[in-house]
Amino acid sequence: MGEQIDEELVRRVQGGDKKAFDILVRKYQYKIVQLISRYIKDSSEALDIAQETFIKAYRALPNFRGESAFYTWLYRIAINTAKNYIATRARHPAENEIDIDVAEQFETAPRLKDQETPEGVALTEELAWAIQVALAELPDELRTAISLREFDGMSYDDIAEAMNCPVGTVRSRIFRAREAIDKKLKTLLG
Give the domains, in start order, of the chain with CATH numbers: 1-97 (1.10.1740.10), 99-190 (1.10.10.10)
CB of 185 closer than 8 Å to CB of 177: no
pLDDT interval class at 150 (50, 70, 90): confident
At residue 169, the pLDDT reads 93
Question: What is the rounded CA–CA span in Å between residue 9 and residue 26?
Answer: 12
CB of 142 closer than 8 Å to CB of 177: yes
At residue 135, the pLDDT reads 81
Q: For 6-25, what is the mean pLDDT?
A: 91
Question: What is the rounded CA–CA span in Å between residue 160 and residue 72?
Answer: 9
Q: How many CA atoms lie within 13 A of 138 on its CB side?
A: 30
At residue 133, the pLDDT reads 75
Comparing 38-52, 121-135, 147-161, 168-182, which segment has the lowest mean pLDDT? 121-135
Residue 75 above 80 pLDDT? yes
Mean pLDDT of the chain: 78
Instruction: Report helix angle 18-37 to 2-14, nearest 10.
Output: 120
pLDDT tens-digit map of 87-96 = 777 544 444 4
At residue 99, the pLDDT reads 46
At residue 124, the pLDDT reads 59
* Closest by Cα among 25, 75, 31 to 51: 25
